[in-house]
Amino acid sequence: MWTSPADPWRDPGSAAVLGGPAERDTEREDGEVERPHGPQLSVPELLFGRRVKPTALALLGVVALVVGALGGAVGWALATAGDTLTGELNIAEAREGKERPAGSVADIARRVAPAVVSIEVESGQSGGVGSGVVIDGQGYVLTNHHVVARAGDAGKAEITTVFTDGTRTPAQVVGTDPKTDLAVLKVDVANPVVIEIGDSDALAAGDAVMAIGSPFGLENTVTEGIVSALHRPVTAPGENGDPPVTYDAIQTDAAINPGNSGGALVDSTGALVGINSMIRTVGSGGEGGSIGLGFAIPINQAIEISEGLIRDGEVSHATLGVNAASVSANTSQGAQVRNVVEGGPAAGAGIAEGDVITRVGDRQVRNAAELTVAVREHEIGEQVPVRLVRGGRPLTVEVTLGSD
């Protein structure tokens, strides 16, 4: 016969509750039911299920007090930190947040700017403003020829250099080279800050550069960019009857504007790598602003020319003895000879009118400007191979370069 198990919480005969035998209710004579009282439990027995020694109980109390004290300390610390984070900031206690580490644009500008001067040229009722760079402790300043071109007319113009500290000093023209747009001035200043000369041949497209000068007369202007291209032959008409200006330029997107001419183009170390000279503009009707196409004369070439100007007052360049124009000959681009100087180097080598020159030495020639810079890379009197196309046929001749 199936029977259900006894419920320990309901079966009066169960001994499962509190671990002891069950006590039954008894009925008194007056009819009231008397319930058993059972043993009385102390607080330790209720808390721990058994008796606890007084010593252990006291120790437990001490531990509780210590825990409480630690909790209070932690709470106070968190409350203090919260006040610090959310409280008002005393501006007088704030530190300068702008950092200018060594090698930053600000650091380079601070070091280089004292060696860059503003050049003011006054000639009668007219004048102009350009820039220059102190390249020697004796006070020699390198700039562009077109900045001081007015002063070349029998010394009619006055030239003043303005340093970053406001010092104004007269300057004299040592020498100029209109064909490369370079000039050297001399100022009488004791212990001028001299710029560090870099190596333009070590540049690569993408290198960071800075232009420092006085665009539109705004002295000590700093702009930043990169080297956009190297060995970019550029040419421009000469001013006031001067010959055309041609040089192998550094192209940069650092903002260059009128007045930057003659100023410094420096690399990421602050070393001078170029002399800013020319910009490409769009439209017509006056001077335009920068469109990100600026050109600088490589410092390796500029220093060589400046040394010649300081030493002799003038310089000479290697020449081929031809006039040429940019053309395409069959599948080759080059410089087509329009006329040959009688008795010149090209005439002596058999180069004729109509020939298209495509290479001088190791350098390819793609246009007339590049022909000029390719020839000037060599020394006067040096013999170089010249490759050309005549009647559709390639030809190479040896030419001994002359002097212009």
- Tracing tokens 């199936």 back to the chain, one arrives at 2
CA gap 153, 377 in Å, rounded: 30
Taking a C-beta distance cutoff of 8 angstroms, is the pair 129, 148 a contact? no
- The residues assigned a catalytic role are 146, 181, 261
Q: Are 246 and 233 in contact (CB under 8 A)?
A: yes
The CA distance from 154 to 383, in Å, is 39
What DSSP state is assigned to residue 363?
A: E
Instruction: Specify whether the CB–CB gap between 261 and 277 falls below 8 A.
Output: yes
**Look-up of token digits 């403003």:** 129
Whole-angstrom distance, CA of residue 248 vs CA of residue 54 = 101
Task: Please answer whether residues 159 and 148 qualify as being in contact, where contact means their C-beta atoms are separated by less than 8 angstroms.
Answer: yes
Write the single-letter amino acid at 325. Answer: A
Phi, psi of 65 (to 5 degrees): -65, -40
> 381, 400 in Cβ contact below 8 A?
yes
Contact 265, 213 (CB under 8 A): no
In terms of C-beta density within 10 A (0-12 exposed, 13-18 middle, 19 or more buried), how is residue 268 classed?
A: middle
Residue 255 neighbours by CB under 8 Å, 6+ apart: 211, 215, 223, 225, 290, 292, 294
Q: Residue 386: phi, psi to the nearest 5?
A: -120, 120
The pair of three-digit structure tokens given for residue 222, joined into one six-digit string: 């700093």
Residue type, 251: Q
What is the distance between the alpha carbons of residues 382 and 77, in angstroms, rounded to a whole number? Answer: 84
